């Protein structure tokens, strides 16, 4: 859908959406390839340690498996003809073939898929399964004990399948497929029909379900293509450590790659290891990767990483600004300029840098992805602000990648939008500004901005500066209440191996920021910790840091 031209402006001018009235993700991403190149490799499944034998799945096998399970879903006998259009089918599995088959089958059958993270505890699973009213669950033996703990509180959940053999209270997934036909006619879904229900990270309050239509995949494609320097190219092969339960794994990697016929390496490490990641990339010839900032920081911290000399074609990252340190390291260790992208569960992949069009600038997210109208507006008037003026980052609707709304929450959905002279804007909750060349700069979340001595400070720039200090492995910055300045900058840092927390080191860290940024931006309070609170997608949970801070200053 996206064609590389001589400049960003020319690339935008050459782009136009092609969203058909009828469109089904499930048939699009596997049936097309199964008909034309049935033996083409779709998935390469690797053990969770990254080593051992690999299991390959062709597009023909993917079609047969998803067709069989779609027939199983249709014949479950849940009243009438099994599951019906719009029923929720939950997938609680790691990166593996059955995860893809489960999603594609449910989508072909006209159901709504509910991706769930295997590390969720009982409360997180209970909220999502009960709130969504999921009728079917596909999982494995490892997750069954947690499900058993909450099963009595899930009246809508009628059938559970396990992909690794039969179990009490669950049907054998493989046996069910073996008895089903591999011929299935996908539901002729409308492009606007509900398809995927993904719950937000929920750092405050109960997570809300963002309901997406089948068109969401087509809406993602330009951003995926741009952030991977115009995916697909001959020989491309993609991997991400991000779980497929998240929009970053499912809709930024798995489904777009299958749409383009790019093989996907399926491996989510039990515990992420820099060296295992590098070995995986070498072993399978991974040329493209979505690596969250946390993964990049872990890889960079490996003492041998500068000498890896990997020859990747594209690496994309999103969730937190990267900064010059990680970008410079990426060129040396990975062989590419990492492209940053921006979005959120409700409206993803709408801003991206693209090294194939222009080298990124420090602190600049990138351009609006072709096809998306992203701008900086005044929240009071919902009008576009002038260049270099800080305001709310917003996306103009309608937009094919934009969610249909929050599941069963019309009031929360309405609160996400503002009406202005140009139309209806989805307000992201993030703040930024627009450069004269059209690129956008991220300043921080609404509640992350630090007001210190009359200055408004975003945490990202300070965190980037802290990471350039040789003793710091990871850093998170928040505002700490101060009677004189209103707030002061407080930094939570983890240290690299070989460094110890001392008063001298803390002063050195403060001076490092003071001399590189500005006197009002350096951390006047530094807390050395063993870990930082992260969302499952690798973002620093600054709300949790503020809670830790409150505990520190009230002790």
The CA dihedral of 399, 402, 405, 411, to the nearest 10 degrees, is -80
Is cis: bond before 398, omega within 30 of 0? yes
348 — pLDDT class (breaks 50, 70, 90) = very high
Which H or E run includes 92? strand 88-92
Q: Is 186 helix (H, G, I), strand (E, B) or coil?
A: coil
**C-alpha–C-alpha distance, residues 481 and 487, integer Å:** 4
pLDDT of residue 537: 63
pLDDT of residue 201: 59
**C-alpha–C-alpha distance, residues 27 and 33, integer Å:** 10
Is the Cβ–Cβ distance between 289 and 312 less than 8 Å?
Answer: yes
Residues with Cβ within 8 Å of 135's Cβ and at least 6 positions away in sequence, in order, are: 78, 83, 87, 88, 89, 156, 157, 158, 159
Mean pLDDT calculated for residue range 409-435: 95
Q: Which residue has the tokens 């956008």?
A: 440
With 0-12 / 13-18 / 19 or more C-beta atoms within 10 angstroms meaning exposed / middle / buried, residue 75 is middle
Closest CA to 286 of 332, 331, 336, 245: 336
pTM of the predicted protein model: 0.84
Mean pLDDT calculated for residue range 347-372: 94
Residue-wise pLDDT for 51-70, tens only, equals 888 999 999 999 999 999 99
Q: Is 532 helix (H, G, I), strand (E, B) or coil?
A: coil
**Could you give the domains of the chain?**
21-31+59-213 (3.40.50.12780), 452-554 (3.30.300.30)
Question: What are the counts of helices (DSSP H) followed by strands (DSSP E) for the chain?
Answer: 17, 28
Is the Cβ–Cβ distance between 509 and 469 less than 8 Å?
Answer: yes
133 — pLDDT class (breaks 50, 70, 90) = very high
- Which of 128-132, 242-246, 402-406 is the least confident region? 242-246
**C-alpha–C-alpha distance, residues 46 and 242, integer Å:** 14
Is pLDDT at 90 greater than 50 in this prediction? Answer: yes
**C-alpha–C-alpha distance, residues 256 and 267, integer Å:** 17
Q: Dihedrals φ, ψ of 376, to 5°?
A: -115, 120
Terminal C-alpha separation, the chain: 57
Is pLDDT at 80 greater than 70 in this prediction? Answer: no
Percent of the chain at pLDDT exceeding 70: 96
pLDDT of residue 88: 97
DSSP notation for 200-214? ---SSSS--EEEEET
Is pLDDT at 122 greater than 90 in this prediction? Answer: no
Is pLDDT at 520 greater than 80 in this prediction? Answer: no
pLDDT of residue 204: 42
pLDDT of residue 79: 54
168 — pLDDT class (breaks 50, 70, 90) = very high
Q: Is 16 helix (H, G, I), strand (E, B) or coil?
A: coil
pLDDT of residue 205: 52
- Which of 323-337, 378-392, 448-462, 523-537 is the least confident region? 448-462
pLDDT of residue 70: 96
Long-range contacts of 28-35 (CB under 8 A, 24+ apart): 28/217, 28/259, 29/104, 29/217, 29/255, 29/258, 29/259, 30/59, 30/62, 30/63, 30/66, 30/104, 30/258, 31/63, 31/186, 33/59, 33/258, 33/261, 34/58, 34/59, 34/60, 34/62, 34/63
**C-alpha–C-alpha distance, residues 285 and 122, integer Å:** 38
Q: For all residues of the chain together, what is the average pLDDT?
A: 92
Q: How many residues does the chain have?
A: 555
pLDDT of residue 203: 38
Q: Is 83 helix (H, G, I), strand (E, B) or coil?
A: coil
Is pLDDT at 219 greater than 90 in this prediction? Answer: yes
Q: Dihedrals φ, ψ of 302, to 5°?
A: -65, 130
pLDDT of residue 202: 45
Is pLDDT at 455 greater than 70 in this prediction? Answer: no
**C-alpha–C-alpha distance, residues 365 and 362, integer Å:** 8
pLDDT of residue 290: 96
Closest CA to 238 of 253, 259, 252, 218: 253
DSSP notation for 425-437? EEEEEEEEEE-TT
**C-alpha–C-alpha distance, residues 391 and 61, integer Å:** 49
293 — pLDDT class (breaks 50, 70, 90) = confident
Mean pLDDT calculated for residue range 455-469: 81
Is pLDDT at 44 greater than 60 in this prediction? Answer: yes
């Amino acid at each position: 859908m996206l064609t590389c031209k001589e400049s960003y402006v020319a690339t935008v001018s050459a782009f136009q959406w092609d969203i058909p009235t009828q469109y089904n993700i499930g048939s699009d991403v596997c049936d097309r390839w199964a008909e034309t190149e049935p033996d083409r490799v779709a998935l390469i499944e690797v053990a969770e340690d990254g080593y051992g034998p690999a299991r390959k799945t062709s597009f023909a096998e993917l079609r047969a498996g998803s067709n069989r399970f779609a027939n199983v879903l249709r014949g479950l006998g849940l009243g009438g003809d099994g599951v019906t259009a719009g029923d929720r089918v939950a997938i609680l599995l790691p990166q593996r073939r059955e995860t893809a088959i489960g999603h594609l089958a449910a989508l072909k059958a006209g159901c709504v898929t509910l991706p769930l993270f295997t590390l969720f505890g009982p409360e997180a699973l209970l909220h999502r399964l009960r709130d969504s009213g999921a009728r079917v669950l596909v999982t494995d033996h490892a997750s069954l004990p947690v499900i058993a703990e909450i099963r009595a509180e899930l009246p809508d959940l009628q059938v559970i399948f396990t992909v690794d053999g039969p179990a009490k209270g669950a049907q054998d997934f493989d046996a069910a497929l073996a008895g089903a036909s591999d011929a299935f006619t996908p539901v002729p879904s409308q492009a606007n029909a509900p398809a995927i229900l993904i719950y937000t990270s929920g750092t405050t309050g109960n997570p809300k379900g963002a309901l997406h239509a089948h068109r969401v995949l087509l809406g993602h494609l330009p951003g995926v293509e741009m952030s991977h320097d115009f995916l697909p190219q001959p020989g491309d092969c993609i991997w991400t450590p991000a779980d497929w339960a998240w929009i970053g794994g499912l809709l930024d990697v798995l489904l777009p790659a299958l749409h383009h016929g790019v093989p996907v390496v399926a491996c989510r490490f039990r515990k992420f290891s820099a060296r295992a990641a590098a070995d995986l990339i070498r072993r399978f010839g991974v040329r493209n990767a979505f690596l969250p900032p946390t993964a990049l920081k872990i890889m960079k911290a490996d003492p041998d990483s500068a000498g890896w000399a990997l020859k990747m074609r594209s690496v994309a990252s999103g969730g937190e600004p990267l900064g010059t340190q990680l970008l410079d390291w990426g060129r040396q260790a990975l062989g590419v300029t990492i492209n940053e992208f921006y979005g959120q569960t409700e409206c993803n992949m709408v801003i991206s840098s693209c090294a194939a069009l222009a080298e990124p600038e420090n602190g600049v997210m990138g351009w609006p992805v072709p096809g998306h109208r992203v701008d900086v507006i005044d929240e009071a008037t919902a009008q576009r602000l002038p260049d270099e003026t800080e305001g709310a980052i917003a996306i103009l609707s309608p937009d094919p990648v934009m969610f249909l709304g929050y599941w069963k929450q019309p009031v929360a959905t309405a609160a996400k939008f503002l009406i202005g002279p140009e139309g209806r804007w989805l307000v992201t909750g993030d703040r930024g500004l627009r450069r004269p060349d059209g690129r956008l700069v991220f300043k921080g979340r609404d509640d992350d901005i630090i007001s210190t001595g009359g200055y408004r400070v975003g945490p990202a720039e300070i965190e980037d500066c802290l990471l350039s200090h040789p003793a710091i492995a990871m850093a998170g910055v928040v505002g700490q209440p101060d009677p004189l300045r209103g707030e002061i900058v407080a930094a939570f840092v983890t240290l690299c191996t070989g460094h110890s927390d001392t008063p001298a080191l803390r002063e050195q860290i403060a001076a490092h920021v003071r001399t590189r940024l500005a006197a009002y931006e350096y951390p006047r309070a530094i807390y050395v910790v063993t870990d930082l609170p992260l969302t499952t997608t690798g973002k620093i949970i600054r709300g949790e840091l503020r809670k830790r801070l409150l505990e520190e200053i009230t002790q």
